[in-house]
Amino acid sequence: MAEPDAHLTDRAPLDETEGLIFACSLDGAGGAERLGWDGVESWTPEDAPLWLHVNGAADRVRDWLPGAGGLTEPTASAMLSAESRPRIFHGAKGFVAILRGINLNPGSEVEDMVALRIWSDGRRLITVREEKLRTVRDLYETLIARDDGPRTIAELFVQLVDRLTERIGSVVLEYDDRLDAIEAQAEEGDPEDLRRELGDLRQELVGLRRYLGPQREALNRMMADAPDWIDERQKLTLRETTDRSQRHIEEIDAARERAIVLKDDVANRLNEQLNRNLYVLSIVAAIFLPLSFLTGLLGINVGGMPGVEDSDAFWITCAALAVLLVIELLIFRKLKWL
């Protein structure tokens, strides 16, 4: 699936510098001001809330997080670890959420979800990724290009989680559309192609389900043990997000069951075609078996064969075979084999 190119006219440019993809300070009115490494390193808790998005594979980022970044060694290790199973935990200095989003990068499979590691203490929010994630870019554009983004770090955190889940929902709907298209072709399409497509779709659903199960558990725990800088209204949003994640899993399970039923229908159609072909071949063999027996018997090269000297014997034999063929067809029709 190709990455969408929405908002091309107001897209905020991203120039990654030593692992810093972007940094911005929230103005409290839905907008933000861009910062570079100098602005990030000179930031203090008394300044405007800060969001920085970094590439975890960059050496400067790996050195900065547990050092000047202020994260403890265990927290920094979790933020930079290759292990990306969805989970949440309270660190000594902030709250960590490791979640996954839909992979819309060119050449990648949608079900191979991209990990997004989020840390926040209510004044700063740090997101770490190794592959591009469209959700982060969209939210950044609402701040920089359209001045219509979150006003606080808590709102930013909740919107990130919500948009990750929302984009998953759009992909689940696409799977339903694909199943609808396959179902529409079930009677007339090529069964082999349909069975292959259903097999691929089921594998994609299994891959997506494998990631969403732990993510649902992480969201449930986040809702039950949210950080104290998230207010009640934002907790309600997290609850809705968690419920939506549960619905996505239920829809994926329903799509898997539907794919199984469709695959069975396609397999039954293939079996019916095979049985029909075998039936036709059996009827043809039954019709020509007596005729082949007679022609084989009359074709033996031994003395005493009747009609050898009679010039009309060939035509008499052909007529006899035609009569035999008609008798066979009448018998088959009476037996309802035809």
| Stretch 198-202: mean pLDDT | 86
Neighbours of 231 (CB within 10 A): 13
Place of tokens 């490494």: 37
Examine the domain organization and report whether 155 and 229 are in the same domain: yes
**Tokens, residue 323:** 């009569």
Same domain, 256 and 203: yes
Question: Do 221 and 317 have their domain in common?
Answer: no
Question: Tell me, what CATH number does 75's domain have?
Answer: 3.30.460.20
Q: Are residues 328 and 247 in the same domain?
A: no
Task: Judge if 63 and 132 occupy the same domain.
Answer: yes
Residue 304 resides in a domain: no
Co-location of 249 and 327 in the same domain: no
242 and 329 both lie in a single domain: no
Same domain, 121 and 248: yes
**Among candidate residues 249, 268, 287, the one where a domain is terminated:** 268
Q: What's the mean pLDDT in 123-135?
A: 90
What pLDDT is recorded for position 13? Answer: 58
Is 83 inside a domain boundary? Answer: yes
CA atoms of 32 and 286, how far apart (whole Å): 84
Closest CA to 218 of 187, 241, 196, 199: 241
209, two tokens: 């389900």
Please state the domain count of the chain.
2
CB 33 within 8 A of CB 27: yes
Q: Provide the pLDDT for residue 338.
A: 65
Q: Which of 268, 284, 317 is the last residue of a domain?
A: 268
> Is the pLDDT assigned to residue 5 strictly greater than 50?
no
Grouping H, G, I as helix, E, B as strand and the rest as coil, residue 242 is helix
| pLDDT at residue 33, as a whole number | 92
Let me know if residue 114 belongs to a domain.
Answer: yes
Please report which confidence band the pLDDT of residue 1 belongs to, taking 50, 70 and 90 as the band edges.
very low
pTM: 0.74
Least confident of 106-110, 200-204, 245-249: 106-110
Helix segments in the chain, DSSP class H:
37-41, 59-64, 73-80, 134-144, 153-185, 191-224, 232-298, 313-334
By residue range, what is the domain housing residue 290? Answer: 276-299+309-334
Q: What is the CA radius of gyration of the chain?
A: 35
Tell me the percentage of the chain whose pLDDT exceeds 70.
Answer: 91
Mean pLDDT, rounded, for 240-247:
92
Torsion of CA 203, 204, 206, 207, to 10 degrees: 120
Of 51 and 109, which is predicted with more confidence?
51
Residues 156, 223, single domain; the answer is yes
With contact defined as beta carbons under 8 Å apart, do 244 and 169 qualify? yes
**pLDDT, tens digit (0-9, with 9 covering 90-100), for 265-319:** 777 777 877 888 888 888 888 888 888 887 877 777 666 677 677 777 778 888 8
Query: Does residue 220 belong to any structural domain of this protein?
Result: yes
The percent of residues in the chain predicted with pLDDT above 90, rounded, is: 36
Query: What angle, rounded to 10 degrees, do the helices at 232-298 and 153-185 form?
Result: 20
Amino acid at 167: R
2 is a domain residue: no
Q: Per the domain annotation, does 15 fall within a domain?
A: yes
Query: Is the domain of 35 the same as that of 63?
Result: yes
Q: What is the pLDDT of residues 57-84, one digit of tens each?
A: 899 999 999 988 889 999 999 999 887 7
Q: How is residue 123 written in tokens?
A: 């004044």
Mean pLDDT of 173-181: 87
Do 12 and 102 lie in a common domain?
yes
Domain assignment of residue 126, yes or no:
yes
The one-letter amino acid code at 190 reads: D
- Do both 156 and 250 map to the same domain? yes
Residue 177 falls within a domain, yes or no? Answer: yes
